[in-house]
Structure 1
Amino acid sequence: MTIRSTCPYCGVGCGVLLQDDGAGGLNVSGDPDHPANRGRLCSKASALGQTVGHAGRLLAPRVNGVDTDWDSALDRVADTFARTIARHGPDSVAFYASGQMLTEDYYVANKFMKGFVGTANIDTNSRLCMASTVAGHKRAFGTDTVPGTYEDLDQADLVVLVGSNLAWCHPILYQRVLAARAARGTKVVVIDPRRTATCDGADLHLPLRIGSDVALFNGLLAAIYEGNAVDTAYVARTDGFDDALTTARCSEIEPTGLDVETVHEFFRLWIGTERVVTVFSQGVNQSSSGTDKVNAILNCHIATGRIGKPGMGPFSVTGQPNAMGGREVGGLANTLACHLDLENPAHRSAVRKFWDAPRIPDAPGLKAIDMFKAVAAGRIKALWIMHTNPAVTLPDADAVRAAIAACDFTVVSDITAATDTARLADVLLPASAWAEKSGTVTNSDRTISRQRAALPAPGAARPDWWHVTQVARRMGFARAFDYDSPAEIFREHAALSGVAGALGRDFDISGLSDLSDGEYAALSPTRWPVAAKGGGRFFADGRSFHDTGRMRMIAVSWRASAAKHARRFPFRLNTGRVRDHWHTMTRTGTSPRLSAHIAEPFVEIHPTDADALGIGPDTLAELSSPTGTAILRATITDAVQPGTVFAPIHWTGETAPTGRIDALVADVTDPHSGQPDSKASFCAVRPFAAAWYGFAVSSRRVHPVSDYWAVARSDAGWRMELSGRAAPTDWEADARALFDLPNASVQMLTDPARGVARFAFHDGDRLIAALFVAPEPVAVMRDYLTELPAEDVLTGRAPADRPDPGPILCSCFGVGVNTILSAIESDGLMSVDAVGAALSAGTNCGSCRSEIAALLERSHMAEAAE
């Protein structure tokens, strides 16, 4: 049987087909009928079948580290929350939610906290990725409304990508853009301080200085006016145009650091192309001026009337599978369900009446950063964290970890106990994972899709909505939380949206409020609104959801980031995602295929800076900031600008303790949205004083104790990178301790004078572990060794008669670098498409095409030099 569901990764919301693989797992393929992806999947989604095993799962409730039954755990949670509220008031408790939750889970959690506990102290990790878009939308439109649809990408003549590495972070949308380029000549502009994989498919790249987007788009707004491109009829229905334009005309382009001709080329292209879509993502949102950046972009589309029409408009693409669903149910601390406003008395009254709730707070609760500061200060005494890992992901992560550890009472609902946050919990509640639970998610263009269960949940794991309702019932709210299924919750949510629609809100799915259980089970992807008319584009008529019905342009000005630490910490730290990993890797980290592309944390450093610092390729670099430190593998590249560095967000205390990059990020936030600035913290960089480097493979998980280590899954077990400031006196003893193999037979090769040591441990004829040590980064065939080959491995190289595929480049098809280079040379391949035809590499999600292009260029340059 084939089950239709939705991918659990980014906000594109791709449809997937799930089939039993006959071994307790799943075969996963793209759904050709889903409007978001039409059958395509990215590398992460293609590997979903590798991530559904039960290894490492939390299988029973756990109280103070001891497994127990559900009644005991739930009674403990309910009693402690009730007692805390009785003694210290409702604002002494908090709930931290996640864009990994389904809409039904989110709805119940929001209703529980705001309607029945009586506090708005419920926020979500979506605060970290799209809160500035919410604030910008509300300032311009009166509601948090995404104006356009994915079809606009197909119909645009110009797509501008701002702070978005679409090729790696939203590959399926990137493929739609490239398809439009091939079919209709769509131009692509990338605005990003880094040169990313997305830039390789662009007609123009504007590498502006970090944080200067407002200056650039103010310049565009002034150019729109000077080029007579203002849509005067549309602007006549808009407030704030004169102030926004005056401010823009007083702005300077100089803060962007871009040359004038490049800027004018962009302005001419944007102004001269009517069908233009401006896509923006984390590079815009994750900023201390993120809301102003959003409004600077919206101002340009409003001034030209290029909004809500086919092939044109501003478009926020979200990072999580249900960030939009969380926004719809009021998952943020300053919102109510169904896009109603917490501070609006009429809205509060309507929601309270609908829920028959005892109380609804009249002021916003604590946003994420302030919430955990309140935990640290002891004002939050009971905390519930659901499906997220704030001890790693929040800025000043070390302080957040310490705050959670010191909290009087912490509950964590998750699928595993092996996260930095779960290890700090007093009570752990086992949750159902993707493919085990049912509900809905909403993607970036407002399309509601079903996630459906295809596997039984292991042990005592239960859905998130069940966790919340069981606690709510024990706290005396049984009548309001008497749900037996997600379908019941969805119907209530849809009915409440009808109340919101009657109050003039945009979010109205009341047309779905009478779905039967069977109709809910069969629900096809549906874009909202679903009321009197279907869900298409918004704002083409110039009417907004403000009380006046008029759109608003907002006067915004560029402002420099505070540089109080610039002398001690001269580098600007940019953070973000990599292609094949997701958040803190609780899912992607279980896939050997995904771990093969990038197996350890790294930092990109410009060659000029690396030379000045004495940091060589593949050595380790130590980063420090006022809040923390990190040790990362150095990647020397001109993809970053001098004076800036880039590091990914994914590594944790479980996978690379010194790679927790958010420990370095300052807790600076946008004043309007409360979203942290994760793209522009100040840091220092220096070489890590390594006495030795190591690479190890093992058939089982081990826990190194060296100054630097990073561990990743492989097909045959685990792979590790290691390093230390001081060399051990007895390498064999340390190797045995590393693998916990005190008595295993060992082959070894040591050269103390050169600082080289190699060990291969066997169980009979089977290799079970190996360690390679050198005073410089270890040069061995890592991808060969991760197979734990039976033949002699002390050379660290594959036998001459065995091809070495090299590091995996195309994760979708498992094609290595050496395989591609060999085919280029032997078959005379001259293009990315030719490589795809020969090897399939780059023909699925396409996110590796830029890397293939780089290999082609390298190979052809080497050939020309001969």
Structure 2
Amino acid sequence: MKPLEAVIKTTCPYCGVGCGVLAEQNTAGEWSVRGDGEHPANFGRLCSKGASLAETVSLPNRLMTPLQRIADGGLQRISWDHAIDRVADGFRAAIDEFGPDSVGIYVSGQILTEDYYVANKLMKGFIGSANIDTNSRLCMSSAVAAYNRAFGSDTVPVSYEDLENADLVVLSGSNTAYAHPVIYQRLVAAKERRPNMKFVVIDPRKTATCDIADLHLPIAPGADALLFNGLLVALADAGKIDHDFIAASVDGFEASLAAARADAGDPDILAQRCGLSRAQLEQFYGWFIAHERTVSLWSQGMNQSASGTDKGNALINCHLATGRIGKPAMGPFSITGQPNAMGGREVGGLANMLAAHQGFTPEAIDRVSRFWGSENVAQKPGLKAVDLFAAAGTGQIKALWIIATNPVFSLPDSHAVRAALAHCPLVVLSECVANTDTAQYADILLPATTWGERDGTVTNSERRISRQRPLYPPVGESRHDWQALCAVAERLGFGTAFDFADAAAIFREYAALTAFENNGSRDLDLGAFTQLSEAQYNELPPTRWPQPACHAPIEPFSDGRFFTQNRRARMLPITAQGAPSALTPLYPLRLNTGRLRDQWHGMSRTGAVPKLLNHVGEPTLTIHPMDAARYKLRGHQIARVGNTRGQLMTRVVLDEHQRQGSVFVPMHWSDAFSRDGLVNALIAPIIDPISGQPEFKTQSVWVEHYPAEWFGFVLIREGLPVPELKQLPGDYAIKITATTATRYELAGVAAPSNWMDWAKTTLNQQKNALETDAVIDREWIEFADSATGRYRIAQITQGQLDWVLHITRDSRAVETQWLLGLFAEPTLDAAQRADLIAGKPAGAQADVGPIICACFSLGRNTLIEAIEQHHITDAKALGACTEAGTNCGSCLPELKALIAQNPPSAESATSPAQASIED
């Protein structure tokens, strides 16, 4: 692929931090990426995922052409013209017979603002229904609702610099070290510059983020609003209310304080209800009282709740009551999960919003109608995500277009989502990969561009718009999502309104809509960009909005004016709600879900990078050892987790820092990587009544030991066909991408009667590429010990290793790095064949242990050896010695924990400077 220019400035496609990336291609055609030192979001930093972007330029299972489902359930290649006709005909037929509310579009925080704008314009502006929603509904819509209730606008009033300059940072329901690693590293650096800076982490779990915590509050699940109601009372009792600010700019203070007093009650009872000690409560409240320069950052731990909006408003109340908003280094900061969740909010990607941060008021409907030149603008909010798919299941939705997301994987009650899509007459999927869970239910698949090919803008968590620039032309027949949407709009008769030449033209129109009849009445104003030339658009630097045309921008709320009708902020009376799912003897544990450090969503991109699976390669159940003993679970063995909706199987991880009575399962394992690892199959579709955001954090479940009689793994050389997960034996099957091979982890009760027959049949699914009618030089190396249950078999063709199968009764992980090295050998010698029989290398290769530093593939045992050998006492010294933590820094919390668990003797401790000199 030929690069468009030497070094390309673009933006990372992962989390909402919005890091700038520099991409470069060498003369051999290989891409490399590094952080953009000039981008104000990251100043050159990248996390482990962003640093691995070059390894995902060529995605496996790439969808290259339009496909349609045929009668036998298979897929057939079709032309773009035919595909667009089928989509347009299906939408038109449904609209003609059942009305515009019979169709819907479901989009994603992964697409660009220009794609989002066109989808919203088509659905709300010309089809005439607001049945367009986004997967951002699942991660930050409660924060949107809380901001709108408090400010009259969806305005994030904080920047990353505010975070760094605050004297107190409160992190609520946010494992920032894993979910937003670059922000975490900026906070670590700020703490080093200003040691008196304080951090409070409010989270039921002790996460990696607690590494920087001066105070960790292991709050009871769901008690956030109660905690903040108590804080409001403490602020009032301490005389910290800013009465002048309230008199000038805030309504609702007295009612909100009265509700908080009624809710919080006696301090001892409050602490008990929050699951904290009174001393912890008083320390937190005391710090908040003492530090005016406070930023409160919250994320999914608060948002993903049946009362997430109230939780957000309870926290915002504390900032409004004290006037800690609209000023440097203070404010309530909801940090977004996806790279363009903010861009979607701006253009109306949510079903309850019109474009440009406008609601469904008569004035806004009239304004948008006149701007778009359409008399068919939607008059009311549409169906939110959970309700949209439920409507597909009941037959209300006849045609549904899903763009750049995998709702079968990501929505709660995933079995019901599968049934709904199977029932829907027309399901269209725009995707860049062909094997997502949702693709199984699509009638039409449209090949979409992906990172590396996309051209447009994204907006990060601090309202900063950045360009995402293409590295190379679209692959195969893939098209930008806005192009597919415009083509369907043209077939539906709306072509004039969708005659966009390029992304720059869309951006100009979007910017013009934000400025149209604005005059300071709305927060989002990009009037300065309405006349951008294509060249200016291409060179657009990272820019925070607002950017009005006629005057210099001011930071929102710095003038004490908000965007409600009377321009005053609103405090809301909040009564805390408990967890919606009750614990019972049948379902005694609270299930929490969330992200891992090195993975993203359903792993269609990160799951293709072997080193990103080295840290955690399987779905895991993290459980306190006391709970594990109670339910007869053992570390590294397999557990079942379930409730009335379904069950999953995971590897058990014992962690004394896990809250007792709760368990944690990561969200990332989809059908493509796990036979039964989909955690959302267990999540009830309980939603916040205001925001429509589902409750993902407090589901009640049971756990039980899975009585596996055997454990094993399969390695298959890269390039050879691999079996589907359903073809593998046992109940537990996980696919793991590895260097030079594909790996499967297996466990089961019943085993094949003959492992050799099974392996030869299942692992040889088609002839080897070298095979002809001639006799092939193929051999099998086998070892069996029926007494211990150990079995090993490897196939070698033309001297090269094809596949390896290991079976044992021991659940402990087997070191396979040496085996992966054998797959790269063109011919195995006698010693290597002997190693295959023995099941380990004769050269006694050191076991590096579980990988901690993904960037340099450094394992726990290697790092402990370095700590002991060089008497290391801090992470900087360990980095100087081994490079661990010196690239993206995402592993630093674990490195510090490792050093704390393995301290050198006091007389031989080495400083960072000494370690650098010695090594």
- Residue 748 of structure 2 corresponds to which residue in structure 1? 724
- Residue 898 of structure 2 corresponds to which residue in structure 1? 855
Residues 685-705 of structure 1 show CA distances to partners (whole Å, capped at 9, x for unaligned) of: 111121211122111433233
Q: Give the distance between the partners of 1:130 and 1:861, measured in 2 at CA.
A: 44
Distance verdict in 2 for CA 1:861–1:772, change over 3 Å: farther
- Residue 680 of structure 2 corresponds to which residue in structure 1? 662
Q: 2:600 aligns with which of 568, 573, 582?
A: 582
User: Does structure 1 residue 115 correspond to structure 2 residue 125?
Assistant: yes
Q: Give the distance between the partners of 1:801 and 1:5, measured in 2 at CA.
A: 45
User: Does structure 1 residue 684 correspond to structure 2 residue 708?
Assistant: no
Per mean C-alpha deviation after superposition, the further-off stretch among 15-24 and 168-177 is: 15-24
- Secondary structure of the residue aligned to 1:770 is strand
Partner amino acid for 2:319? Answer: H
- Residue 444 of structure 2 corresponds to which residue in structure 1? 427
- Residue 444 of structure 1 corresponds to which residue in structure 2? 461
Unaligned runs of 5+ in 2: 1-5, 70-74, 265-269, 767-775, 908-919
Unaligned runs of 5+ in 1: none
TM-score (norm 1): 0.97
- Residue 385 of structure 2 corresponds to which residue in structure 1? 368
| Structure 1 residue 458, shift from structure 2 partner | 1.3
- Residue 829 of structure 1 corresponds to which residue in structure 2? 872
| Structure 1 residue 828, shift from structure 2 partner | 1.8
TM-score (norm 2): 0.92
Q: Give the distance between the partners of 2:704 and 2:661, measured in 1 at CA.
A: 13
- Secondary structure of the residue aligned to 1:800 is coil
- The residue correspondences of 1:208-607 to structure 2 (distance < 5 A) are 208-236=219-247, 237-252=249-264, 253=270, 254-342=272-360, 344-499=361-516, 501-502=518-519, 504-531=521-548, 532-535=550-553, 537-563=555-581, 566-607=584-625
Distance verdict in 2 for CA 1:663–1:22, change over 3 Å: farther
| Structure 1 residue 374, shift from structure 2 partner | 0.4
Q: Give the distance between the partners of 1:533 and 1:557, measured in 2 at CA.
A: 42
| Structure 1 residue 649, shift from structure 2 partner | 0.6
Partner amino acid for 1:414? Answer: E
Q: 1:155 aligns with which of 151, 160, 165?
A: 165
Residues 86-129 of structure 1 show CA distances to partners (whole Å, capped at 9, x for unaligned) of: 01111110100000000000000000000111110000000000
Residues 771-801 of structure 1 show CA distances to partners (whole Å, capped at 9, x for unaligned) of: 1111231442133333345522344434435
Q: Give the distance between the partners of 2:616 and 2:793, measured in 1 at CA.
A: 25
Per mean C-alpha deviation after superposition, the further-off stretch among 3-12 and 723-732 is: 723-732
Q: Give the distance between the partners of 1:269 and 1:632, measured in 2 at CA.
A: 40
Per mean C-alpha deviation after superposition, the further-off stretch among 808-817 and 662-671 is: 808-817
Residues 799-831 of structure 1 show CA distances to partners (whole Å, capped at 9, x for unaligned) of: 435444333211123322222122112222221
- Secondary structure of the residue aligned to 1:205 is strand
| Structure 1 residue 533, shift from structure 2 partner | 4.4
- Secondary structure of the residue aligned to 1:489 is helix
* Contact preservation (8 Å) 2:172, 2:297: yes
* Contact preservation (8 Å) 2:157, 2:557: yes
- Residue 104 of structure 1 corresponds to which residue in structure 2? 114
| Structure 1 residue 536, shift from structure 2 partner | 5.5
* Contact preservation (8 Å) 1:395, 1:676: yes
Distance verdict in 2 for CA 1:62–1:43, change over 3 Å: same
- Residue 135 of structure 2 corresponds to which residue in structure 1? 125
* Contact preservation (8 Å) 1:783, 1:807: no
- Secondary structure of the residue aligned to 1:338 is coil
* Contact preservation (8 Å) 1:783, 1:806: no
Distance verdict in 2 for CA 1:565–1:838, change over 3 Å: closer
Per mean C-alpha deviation after superposition, the further-off stretch among 100-109 and 567-576 is: 567-576
| Structure 1 residue 534, shift from structure 2 partner | 4.8
Distance verdict in 2 for CA 1:309–1:798, change over 3 Å: farther
CA RMSD of aligned residues (A): 1.7
- Secondary structure of the residue aligned to 2:61 is coil
Q: 1:648 aligns with which of 666, 677, 688?
A: 666
* Contact preservation (8 Å) 1:718, 1:786: no
Q: Give the distance between the partners of 2:394 and 2:515, measured in 1 at CA.
A: 41
- Residue 72 of structure 2 corresponds to which residue in structure 1? none
Distance verdict in 2 for CA 1:280–1:406, change over 3 Å: same
Q: 2:54 aligns with which of 49, 56, 59?
A: 49
- Residue 218 of structure 2 corresponds to which residue in structure 1? 207
Q: Give the distance between the partners of 2:578 and 2:454, measured in 1 at CA.
A: 46
Per mean C-alpha deviation after superposition, the further-off stretch among 104-113 and 81-90 is: 81-90
Residues 817-846 of structure 1 show CA distances to partners (whole Å, capped at 9, x for unaligned) of: 222122112222221111111112112332
* Contact preservation (8 Å) 1:244, 1:555: yes
| Structure 1 residue 163, shift from structure 2 partner | 0.3
User: Does structure 1 residue 15 correspond to structure 2 residue 16?
Assistant: no
Partner amino acid for 2:802? Answer: I
Alignment size in residue pairs: 863
User: Does structure 1 residue 26 correspond to structure 2 residue 31?
Assistant: yes
| Structure 1 residue 328, shift from structure 2 partner | 0.1
- Secondary structure of the residue aligned to 2:356 is helix
Q: 2:761 aligns with which of 695, 718, 737?
A: 737
Per mean C-alpha deviation after superposition, the further-off stretch among 424-433 and 807-816 is: 807-816
Q: Give the distance between the partners of 1:524 and 1:859, measured in 2 at CA.
A: 46
Partner amino acid for 2:796? Answer: H
Residues 637-662 of structure 1 show CA distances to partners (whole Å, capped at 9, x for unaligned) of: 12221111100111111100200000
* Contact preservation (8 Å) 2:582, 2:700: no
Per mean C-alpha deviation after superposition, the further-off stretch among 691-700 and 420-429 is: 691-700
* Contact preservation (8 Å) 2:852, 2:859: yes
Distance verdict in 2 for CA 1:796–1:22, change over 3 Å: farther
- Secondary structure of the residue aligned to 1:230 is coil
Q: Give the distance between the partners of 2:277 and 2:690, measured in 1 at CA.
A: 31
Q: 2:80 aligns with which of 65, 70, 79?
A: 70
Residues 593-646 of structure 1 show CA distances to partners (whole Å, capped at 9, x for unaligned) of: 111211111111111111011110000110112211100111111222111110
- Secondary structure of the residue aligned to 2:562 is coil
Q: 1:714 aligns with which of 691, 715, 738?
A: 738
* Contact preservation (8 Å) 2:580, 2:698: no
- Residue 724 of structure 2 corresponds to which residue in structure 1? 703
- Residue 206 of structure 2 corresponds to which residue in structure 1? 195
| Structure 1 residue 511, shift from structure 2 partner | 0.8
User: Does structure 1 residue 135 correspond to structure 2 residue 145?
Assistant: yes
Q: Give the distance between the partners of 2:108 and 2:552, measured in 1 at CA.
A: 28
Distance verdict in 2 for CA 1:862–1:681, change over 3 Å: farther
| Structure 1 residue 457, shift from structure 2 partner | 1.5
- Secondary structure of the residue aligned to 1:593 is helix
Partner amino acid for 1:552? Answer: R
- Residue 750 of structure 1 corresponds to which residue in structure 2? 784
Q: Give the distance between the partners of 2:838 and 2:685, measured in 1 at CA.
A: 47
Q: Give the distance between the partners of 1:807 and 1:763, measured in 2 at CA.
A: 31
- Secondary structure of the residue aligned to 1:787 is helix
Residues 470-524 of structure 1 show CA distances to partners (whole Å, capped at 9, x for unaligned) of: 0110110110100110000000000000026237110000110100000000000
* Contact preservation (8 Å) 2:871, 2:904: no
Q: 1:61 aligns with which of 57, 66, 75?
A: 66
| Structure 1 residue 561, shift from structure 2 partner | 2.5
